[in-house]
C-alpha cells in the first residue's frame, strides 16, 4: 500500500534520549525505553499578536510554534525517571543484595531529552513522532499502591533544537518536532548529524566594486558547521558575519582589478566557484 494511503495506529514504542549536557547542543546516544507507555500526545500551540491600523485588524503575527507533549505510562525505570526529572541514580552491592537509590536535590534541574514515539502503520510500515528538545515542565505525579510504584503521567514542552547540522538531509537547528512515516518498520534510533558537507554559495547581492574594497556584500547559500574562512579572490574578507545558515555578510578586501571568487570554507571543505560566486574588481 503506498505511503500516501496508510494510517498509523497502535503505540508500539517510546524512547527517551537524554542530552549529555544541560546546554543540549549535542545529541545524546543512550536510548531509554518506556516499555509500558500507553499514550504519547502532542498539542501544538503558538501565541499571536494582533496588528491593527486605521481602526481595523490588519493581520496577526505569530511568535513561533511550540509543542506541548504528554506521556501516560505505568511503571517507569529509575533511568527513565532520571531522564525526565533529573537527579541521580546510585547503585551499590551485588545481587542478591544490590541496592539502587534515586535521589533528587533541590539544586538538580530537569534535563532536556529527545522524545520519540513509534506507531505501526496499517501497511506494515511505521510512523514516528519526534520532539527534538523536550523538557518536563509540569508536575510529575506518582502512585504507590497495590504493590506497585507508578508514574502515571508526565508532560512538558518541546523547545527549538540547539544542535546545528543536517539530519536526514535537512538542517536541524531551530526544529521543534518531526513526524516521520516509513514504508517499512524500523527501529527507533538516536538522532545523529549527517556526514559533514562543505558550504555552498548560490548568489551575491552585488557582483562588482572598486579595488579599494570596503563594499558590504550579502552572500546567499548554505553554510553548515563552523565557518573558518571567507575569502574574495584568495584574500581574507576584511570582516564577515554569519547571519543565518543561509546568509552571510562580508566586507570586501582591497584587491587587484579583475574577476575574483567568493569562497566560504568550513571544517569539511570549501564552496564551489562559478558565475554565481564571481565578484569583479574595477
Classify 137 in phi/psi space as left (phi over 0), alpha (psi -120 to 50) or beta: alpha
Q: Are residues 233 and 130 in the same domain?
A: no
In a domain, 191, yes or no: no
In a domain, 194, yes or no: no
Q: Are residues 173 and 210 in the same domain?
A: no
Distance CA 268, CA 149 (A): 50
Distance CA 94, CA 83 (A): 24
pTM: 0.69
CATH number at 221 reads 2.60.40.10
Torsions phi, psi for 276 (to 5 deg): -70, -20
Instruction: Reply yes or no on whether the pLDDT at 184 is more than 90.
Output: no
Give, in order, the Cα–Cα distances in Å from 188 to each of 34, 100, 150, 178, 192.
12, 28, 24, 13, 12
In a domain, 54, yes or no: yes
In a domain, 189, yes or no: no
Domain hosting residue 13, numbered range: 3-182
How many residues comprise the chain? 282
SS3 content of the chain, % helix, strand, coil (to 5): 5, 50, 45
CA atoms 169, 173, 174, 177: torsion sign: positive
pLDDT in tens, 100-123: 899 999 999 999 999 999 998 877
Distance CA 213, CA 206 (A): 13
pLDDT in tens, 71-105: 987 777 888 889 999 999 999 999 899 998 999 99
Confidence of residue 240 (pLDDT cuts 50, 70, 90): very high
Amino acid at each position: 500500500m503506498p505511503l500516501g494511503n496508510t494510517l498509523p495506529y497502535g503505540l508500539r514504542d517510546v524512547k527517551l534520549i537524554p542530552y549529555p549536557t544541560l546546554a543540549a547542543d549535542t545529541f545524546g546516544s543512550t536510548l531509554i525505553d518506556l516499555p509500558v507507555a500507553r499514550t504519547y500526545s502532542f498539542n501544538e500551540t503558538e501565541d499571536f499578536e494582533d496588528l491593527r491600523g486605521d481602526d481595523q485588524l490588519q493581520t496577526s503575527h505569530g511568535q513561533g510554534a511550540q509543542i506541548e507533549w504528554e506521556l501516560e505510562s505505568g511503571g517507569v525505570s529509575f533511568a527513565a525517571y532520571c531522564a525526565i526529572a533529573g537527579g541521580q541514580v546510585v547503585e551499590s552491592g551485588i545481587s542478591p543484595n544490590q541496592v539502587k537509590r534515586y535521589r533528587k536535590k533541590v539544586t538538580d534541574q530537569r534535563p532536556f531529552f529527545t522524545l520519540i514515539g513509534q506507531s505501526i502503520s496499517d501497511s506494515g510500515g511505521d510512523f514516528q513522532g519526534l520532539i527534538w528538545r523536550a523538557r518536563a515542565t509540569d508536575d510529575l505525579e506518582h502512585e504507590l499502591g497495590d504493590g506497585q510504584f507508578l508514574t502515571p503521567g508526565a508532560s512538558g514542552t518541546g523547545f527549538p533544537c540547539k544542535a546545528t547540522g543536517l539530519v536526514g538531509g535537512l538542517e536541524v537547528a531551530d526544529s521543534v518536532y518531526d513526524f516521520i512515516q516509513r514504508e517499512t518498520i524500523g527501529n527507533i534510533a538516536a538522532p545523529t548529524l549527517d556526514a559533514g558537507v562543505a558550504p555552498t554559495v548560490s548568489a551575491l547581492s552585488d557582483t562588482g566594486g572598486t579595488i579599494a574594497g570596503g563594499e558590504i556584500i550579502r552572500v546567499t547559500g548554505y553554510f553548515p558547521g563552523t565557518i573558518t574562512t571567507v575569502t574574495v579572490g584568495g584574500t581574507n574578507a576584511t570582516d564577515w558575519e554569519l547571519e543565518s545558515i543561509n546568509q552571510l555578510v562580508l566586507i570586501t578586501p582591497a584587491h587587484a582589478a579583475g574577476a575574483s571568487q567568493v569562497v566560504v570554507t568550513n571544517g569539511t571543505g570549501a564552496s564551489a566557484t562559478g558565475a554565481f560566486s564571481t565578484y569583479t574588481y574595477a
